[in-house]
Structure 1
Amino acid sequence: MRLLTVVYLTSLFFYSPFFVYADEPEKKPKTDAMLFGHVVSGKEHVAFATIVVEGTTIASAADGTGHFKMTNLPVGKQTVVISAIGYKTLKKEVELRANESVTLYAQLETDNIGIEQVVVSADRNEKSRTHTPTIVNSINPKLFQRTQSVTLSEGLNFSPGLRMENNCQNCGFSQVRMNGLEGPYSQVLINSRPVFSGLAGVYGLELIPANMIERVEVIRGGGSSMYGSNAIAGTINLITKDPIANRFSAAISQAFSGMGQDYEASNDYNIDLNGSLVSDDYKTGLSLFGFHRKRDPLDANGDGFSEMSSIENVTVGSRLFQRISGRGKITLDYFHINESRRGGNKFDLPKHEADITESVMHRINSAAVNFDLLLRDYDKFSAFISMQDVSRDSYYGAEQDLSAYGETGDLTYSAGIQYIRHLDNFLFSPATITSGLESNGSSLTDEKLGYYDPDEDKHYGNTLVADQKMATQAGFIQSEWKIDKLVISTGLRLDHYTIEDKANSTSDIKGDVLSPRVNLLYDVTGFFKFRAGFARGFRAPQIFDEDLHIETSGSRKVLHKNDESLRQESSNSFTASLDFSNSSGPWQYQLLVEGFYTQLINPFANEYGTPDEDGVVIYTRVNAESGAKVHGVNLELNASPSDRLQFQSGFTFQKSTFEEPQEFGETRFFRTPDTYGYLSMNYNPYMLFNVAFTCNYTGPMLVPYFGSRLDKPAEGQLNKSDSFFDIGVKLSYDIRITENVKLQVNGGVKNLFDSFQNDFDTGIDRDPAYIYGPLSPRTIYLGLKIGNL
Structure 2
Amino acid sequence: MKILLLLTLLFYNCFAQKSVLTGKISDKSGGIPGVTVIIDETGVSAVSDDSGTYNINNIAHGNYTITFSMVGYSKQQKKIKLLSGETQVLNITLSEETAALEEVVITGTMREVRRADSPIPVEIITPKLFRKNPTASLFESVGMINGVQPQLNCNVCNTGDIHINGMEGPYTLILIDGMPIVSSLSTVYGLNGIPNSIVERIEVVKGPASSLYGSEAMGGTINVITKNPLKAPVVSADYFMTSWGEHNMDAAVKSSTGKATSILGVNYYNYAIPTDKNHDNFTDLTLQNRISIFNKLQFERKENRAFSLAARAVYEDRWGGEMQWSKQWRGSDSIYGESIYTKRIEFIGLYQLPFTEKIYTQFSYNWHDQNSWYGDTPYMANQQVGFLQAYWDTNFGEKHTFLLGAAMRFTKYDDNTPATANSDNTKNRPQNTPLPGLFIQDEWAINDKNKLLGGYRFDYDKNHGGIHSPRIAYKFSPTNMHTFRTSFGTGFRVVNLFTEDHAALTGARDVVITEALKPERSFNSNLNYVFNWPASAFILNVDVTGFYSYFTNKIVGDFDTDPTKIIYDNLNGHAISQGVSTNVELMFNFPLKVTAGISYMDVFQAEENSMGAEVKKQQLHAPKWSGNYIMTYTFNDKYSVDITGNWYGPMRLPILPNDYRPEYSPWYNISNIQLTKKFTYGLELYGGVKNVFDFVPQYALMRPFDPFNKYVNDPVANPYGYTLDTSYNYASLQGRRMFLGVRYNFF
The aligned residue for residue 48 of structure 2 is none
**Deviation by residue 1:464-519 (Cα, 9 ceiling, x = unmatched):** 78732221000000000011210000000001123xxxxxxxxxx23211100000
1:663-742 alignment, distance < 5 Å? 667-706=617-656, 719-736=663-680, 741-742=681-682
The aligned residue for residue 35 of structure 1 is none
1:405 and 1:448 in contact (8 A); partners too: no
1:526-545 alignment, distance < 5 Å? 526-543=480-497, 545=499
What is the alpha-carbon distance in structure 1 between the residues aligned to residue 497 and residue 36 of structure 2? 54
1:726 and 1:774 in contact (8 A); partners too: no
Match 1:652 to one of 583, 587, 599:
599
Structure 2: gaps (5+ residues): 1-34, 38-70, 75-92, 419-424, 708-723
Look up the SS of the partner of 1:157 in the other structure.
helix
Letter in 2 for 1:754: D
RMSD, matched Cα: 2.9
The Cα shift of 1:196 comes to 1.2
Task: Give the TM-score of the pair, scaled to structure 1.
Answer: 0.75
The Cα shift of 1:364 comes to 0.5
| Count, aligned residues | 630
The aligned residue for residue 68 of structure 1 is none
The aligned residue for residue 438 of structure 1 is 407
What is the alpha-carbon distance in structure 2 between the residues aligned to residue 287 and residue 560 of structure 1? 44
Match 1:763 to one of 705, 717, 720:
705
**Deviation by residue 1:166-195 (Cα, 9 ceiling, x = unmatched):** 110110011111111000011111111112
1:634 and 1:650 in contact (8 A); partners too: yes
What is the alpha-carbon distance in structure 1 between the residues aligned to residue 631 and residue 505 of structure 2? 38
1:405-424 alignment, distance < 5 Å? 405-424=378-397
What is the alpha-carbon distance in structure 2 between the residues aligned to residue 464 and residue 287 of structure 1? 46
The Cα shift of 1:211 comes to 1.2
Corresponding position: 1:352 with 2:323: no
What is the alpha-carbon distance in structure 2 between the residues aligned to residue 372 and residue 322 of structure 1? 11
What is the alpha-carbon distance in structure 2 between the residues aligned to residue 87 and residue 388 of structure 1? 43
**Deviation by residue 1:424-475 (Cα, 9 ceiling, x = unmatched):** 16xxxx20001100001211111279xxxxxxxxxxxx98787322210000
The aligned residue for residue 287 of structure 1 is 263
Task: Return closer, same or farther for 1:764/1:306 CA change in 2, 3 Å cut-off.
Answer: farther
Greater CA deviation, 303-312 or 557-566?
A: 557-566
Letter in 2 for 1:516: P
Letter in 1 for 2:458: L
Task: Return closer, same or farther for 1:349/1:320 CA change in 2, 3 Å cut-off.
Answer: closer
2:152 and 2:730 in contact (8 A); partners too: yes
Look up the SS of the partner of 2:696 in the other structure.
coil
Corresponding position: 1:365 with 2:345: yes
Task: Return closer, same or farther for 1:585/1:753 CA change in 2, 3 Å cut-off.
Answer: same
1:743 and 1:785 in contact (8 A); partners too: yes
Letter in 1 for 2:599: T
Look up the SS of the partner of 1:667 in the other structure.
strand
Task: Return closer, same or farther for 1:493/1:448 CA change in 2, 3 Å cut-off.
Answer: closer
What is the alpha-carbon distance in structure 2 between the residues aligned to residue 648 and residue 374 of structure 1? 45
2:503 and 2:727 in contact (8 A); partners too: no
Look up the SS of the partner of 2:416 in the other structure.
strand
Match 1:783 to one of 738, 741, 746:
741
1:165 and 1:176 in contact (8 A); partners too: yes
What is the alpha-carbon distance in structure 1 between the residues aligned to residue 474 and residue 351 of structure 2? 30
**Deviation by residue 1:592-646 (Cα, 9 ceiling, x = unmatched):** 11100001112111134877xxx9x442321111111111001011121147332
Greater CA deviation, 486-495 or 596-605?
A: 596-605
The Cα shift of 1:666 comes to 5.4
Corresponding position: 1:137 with 2:123: yes
What is the alpha-carbon distance in structure 2 between the residues aligned to residue 489 and residue 42 of structure 1? 42
Match 2:254 to one of 263, 271, 276:
276
What is the alpha-carbon distance in structure 1 between the residues aligned to residue 534 and residue 429 of structure 2? 56
Task: Return closer, same or farther for 1:655/1:549 CA change in 2, 3 Å cut-off.
Answer: closer
The Cα shift of 1:752 comes to 0.2
2:311 and 2:348 in contact (8 A); partners too: yes
2:379 and 2:505 in contact (8 A); partners too: no
1:115 and 1:581 in contact (8 A); partners too: no
Task: Return closer, same or farther for 1:550/1:301 CA change in 2, 3 Å cut-off.
Answer: farther
Match 2:479 to one of 515, 525, 548:
525
The Cα shift of 1:155 comes to 1.1
Task: Return closer, same or farther for 1:161/1:754 CA change in 2, 3 Å cut-off.
Answer: same
Match 2:568 to one of 621, 631, 638:
621
The Cα shift of 1:305 comes to 0.7
1:248 and 1:274 in contact (8 A); partners too: yes
Q: Which has the larger radius of gyration?
A: 2
What is the alpha-carbon distance in structure 1 between the residues aligned to residue 599 and residue 497 of structure 2? 30
The Cα shift of 1:787 comes to 2.6
Task: Return closer, same or farther for 1:273/1:643 CA change in 2, 3 Å cut-off.
Answer: farther
1:49-448 alignment, distance < 5 Å? 109-110=96-97, 114-245=100-231, 247-256=234-243, 266-278=244-256, 283-296=259-272, 297-345=274-322, 346-350=324-328, 351-353=330-332, 355-373=335-353, 376=356, 380-397=358-375, 401=376, 404-424=377-397, 430-447=399-416
Task: Return closer, same or farther for 1:465/1:670 CA change in 2, 3 Å cut-off.
Answer: farther
Corresponding position: 1:588 with 2:575: no
What is the alpha-carbon distance in structure 2 between the residues aligned to residue 749 and residue 466 of structure 1? 50
The Cα shift of 1:775 comes to 6.5
Structure 1: gaps (5+ residues): 1-40, 44-85, 90-105, 257-265, 450-461, 499-508
Look up the SS of the partner of 1:541 in the other structure.
coil
Paired-residue identity, %: 25
What is the alpha-carbon distance in structure 1 between the residues aligned to residue 374 and residue 690 of structure 2? 31
Letter in 1 for 2:192: E
1:543 and 1:562 in contact (8 A); partners too: no
What is the alpha-carbon distance in structure 1 between the residues aligned to residue 499 and residue 36 of structure 2? 49
Letter in 2 for 1:783: G
Letter in 2 for 1:764: D
